Structure 1
């Protein structure tokens, strides 16, 4: 059965949804103040693949991925740009959607925005205050009282004593305890504010996800996910405020995606070492980037470099070449290949192991083709498409990937001229035309039925 590594238990736990046949997932999305980078792309692709595979297993899935559209970073960036916050966030959300579409990431079932759920946040804060888990400081901010939640630190493995050693308190701090975190920020001059029972202001970051998750999925749901950097304090704080407010377990399984690194250092906007998805997609095909992000296990660190992406492009090319000109066939969903593919994915979504099975199938297709067994080619190709589709791969016609976009007519004309030169035994001209096409990134393959081409 499917087993998922649970950050909360630090073990691969058998996965059993709360409601038979229905899986509810919440994933922390991005704060929309800038273009998404490759680390964000990894989270998008990983959980898109998780959802695809769960649906492949026959589950009904409700997938929620939020958008944080009010935050200190957004306010500061809008001021830097000299634009209003709504203009900045709408523009950045549109850019994010463009990038995720290019990565073949399907839209989530729900994509709540923080600014549209202020009432749900203030209602949760009111419950916390009524139960003495929250208090209002002299500066008007509302804080969560961490020491009143005895299970705090369970997700990250930190104790309150550990946290106290690392705490820093500013001279004008209004908290009762340095470990407490903000739930509601009182209104500041020239900043957005909403009315609330605690006075005008705006929500803290952590309460946003707790309120949106509960609204979309209920107080208790199956899987909560995000990047590894969110484990503490964001997800730790979500657990504390949600379980204190609602008196039930917040999420059963916690999944965290490993960092993308550049030269051994975490890729992050704050470090200035990030590559935006927009820039990468201007150079690399979106499916190639998706393959690169799935070629390592989602919990392991992933080091970015152009050479690795180039190797992924060649690997994906080989799979598409195996599918090229394959006859129609019925997929064998219970074949040995399918069973081994599912065994890999059932082991905490082991995509590298699943990709290895796809390559075995590619080799089997080529052998069947060489042996003239068209029926076997059709069956294997259909099964390959079915299984790869659960990873969001091999969803296009082979020619669309191999030949890419651009001026096909010009290339086809040069290929036709070369074919004519070969028929007329003008070998020097044939070689010159091949060289011209190669210089344009076009590789030719001479087959018994004619010349086929693909882009490098």
Structure 2
């Protein structure tokens, strides 16, 4: 295989990927804070890094993929109190919802999915090391904070100087800190907080700060240094910057070799955010679009570029994915190992090896689809299916996708289509055929219009045969 290159946010350039252990990849991705349903920004993180781990495995690496769950923080506590339910009840409910959304998008389960509440002892161990190294102190309010100015490398990931950060909007102005830049490692308990979020420590009862969670979970599973750390661009500062400070401050050596960040999701060219009220949950979008269309839409853009969400772009993605599946229709193809020396496969691999360039790789899939339309050659179909499978696309039977069904054969009702069952559609098509035989063309046109309004596309073939698919 071609040498894999990754854009390393820390180095601000694409670099050849050399894992710490030859042939093995250790990868940690910041996951979801589970107090609400996942939105499109979460969908992008899940799909992008699912693509990354799939491709690395297809390239021959043994991958250990970790994506954490934050199941304790201020928002979770606030929401549980508002709902009148325990934190465990709240987080378990939304973890289940997250798993359902991820599965719908074709996202494979990570090898490890640690929950923050399971790693509090490890967090306390790191905080103790930071205190011993002169990088942590207990404030007057009982919190334990990280002393940013005492860590020489602070700002190297975000490229911000301490003076820039001092004047920045995201600096915490908590009066209990020696410096406004300092961040919380351990929060002292408040009487108003439920007992389930209080742990014993040498600094008194409390709970961990957000940033220390990922340092502890990644270290426990992958070690003090690992290959790839990923997440959304919004986490680059302060979360990932603080992870570096904690882990390197505790262990006095490099934390992560390659930092990867996917771009923002934008809604009609404006950044998606809850504060602006312009965000969509995955579940809302799944009511209108087939989940594979959403996955295709995400992968069609380079992971580092902004992703502009609109119905028009989703409709375009749907049409493009339909063209790929249509090429596979009625072409028998068994699964065989990919021939990476074949020209299409080589160009696909070159694109993916160049910092996971999925737009260019998907362009190769369309070239294969065009070739398949011309030749109906099963070997070409196998190449198309094999290459697309390395990034989690075209995983259903073509008939299932074109008729709006999942891989299991269940109906997928999208784009506002009426909930017509397959039997109802077939019955209406038969009635239309009979109407045409009786030269009742007005009735035949009426049935076609009704089906079209329900999102059903008819294709009249030779010999009076009519095939259909959901649009």
Do these two structures clear the TM 0.5 threshold for a shared fold by scoring above it? yes
Cα–Cα, structure 1 residues 263 and 430, in superposed 2: closer, same or farther, change >3 Å?
closer
Secondary structure (helix, strand or coil) at the match of 1:224 reads strand
Q: Is the 8 A contact 1:260 1:301 kept in 2?
A: yes
Question: Are 2:400 and 1:400 equivalent residues in the alignment?
Answer: yes
- Return the offset for 1:263: 3.1
Query: For residue 435 of structure 1, what is the aligned residue in structure 2?
Result: 449
- Return the offset for 1:295: 1.3
Of the candidates 335, 351, 354, which is equivalent to residue 361 of structure 2?
Answer: 354
Of the candidates 158, 173, 179, which is equivalent to residue 181 of structure 2?
Answer: 179
Q: Is the 8 A contact 2:39 2:281 kept in 1?
A: yes
Secondary structure (helix, strand or coil) at the match of 2:275 reads helix
Secondary structure (helix, strand or coil) at the match of 2:167 reads helix
- Return the offset for 1:146: 1.1
Query: For residue 308 of structure 2, what is the aligned residue in structure 1?
Result: 303
Aligned equivalents of 1:291 and 1:251: distance in 2? Answer: 30
Query: For residue 94 of structure 1, what is the aligned residue in structure 2?
Result: 96
Q: Give me the CA root mean square deviation.
A: 1.6
Query: For residue 156 of structure 1, what is the aligned residue in structure 2?
Result: 158
Deviations 1:276-305 (A, max 9, x none): 111111111110011111111111111111
- Return the offset for 1:334: 2.4
Aligned equivalents of 2:217 and 2:35: distance in 1? Answer: 20
Aligned residues: 448
Q: Is the 8 A contact 2:172 2:181 kept in 1?
A: no
Aligned equivalents of 2:222 and 2:82: distance in 1? Answer: 36
Q: Is the 8 A contact 2:53 2:63 kept in 1?
A: yes
Aligned equivalents of 2:324 and 2:437: distance in 1? Answer: 31
Q: Which moved more, 1:431-440 or 1:224-233?
A: 431-440
Query: For residue 340 of structure 1, what is the aligned residue in structure 2?
Result: 347
Question: Are 2:414 and 1:412 equivalent residues in the alignment?
Answer: no
Query: For residue 373 of structure 1, what is the aligned residue in structure 2?
Result: none
Aligned equivalents of 1:399 and 1:446: distance in 2? Answer: 16
Query: For residue 407 of structure 2, what is the aligned residue in structure 1?
Result: none
Cα–Cα, structure 1 residues 169 and 211, in superposed 2: closer, same or farther, change >3 Å?
closer
Aligned equivalents of 2:38 and 2:67: distance in 1? Answer: 15
- Return the offset for 1:197: 1.5
Q: Is the 8 A contact 2:172 2:182 kept in 1?
A: no
Aligned equivalents of 2:65 and 2:339: distance in 1? Answer: 28
Query: For residue 146 of structure 1, what is the aligned residue in structure 2?
Result: 148
- Return the offset for 1:430: 3.5
Query: For residue 246 of structure 1, what is the aligned residue in structure 2?
Result: 251
Question: Are 2:295 and 1:290 equivalent residues in the alignment?
Answer: yes
- Return the offset for 1:442: 1.1
Q: Is the 8 A contact 2:172 2:183 kept in 1?
A: no
Secondary structure (helix, strand or coil) at the match of 1:359 reads helix
Aligned equivalents of 2:114 and 2:316: distance in 1? Answer: 37
Question: Are 2:268 and 1:266 equivalent residues in the alignment?
Answer: no
Deviations 1:149-200 (A, max 9, x none): 1111000001112222337674x61212221111000111122211112111
Aligned equivalents of 2:396 and 2:332: distance in 1? Answer: 15
Q: Is the 8 A contact 1:332 1:379 kept in 2?
A: no
Deviations 1:192-227 (A, max 9, x none): 211112111000000000000001111100000000
Q: Which moved more, 1:289-298 or 1:206-215?
A: 289-298
Q: Which moved more, 1:261-270 or 1:123-132?
A: 261-270
Residues 18-417 of structure 1 mapped to structure 2, 5 A cutoff? 18-166=20-168, 170=173, 173-191=175-193, 192-329=197-334, 330=336, 331-369=338-376, 377-404=377-404, 405=411, 407-417=421-431
Query: For residue 374 of structure 1, what is the aligned residue in structure 2?
Result: none
Cα–Cα, structure 1 residues 414 and 136, in superposed 2: closer, same or farther, change >3 Å?
same
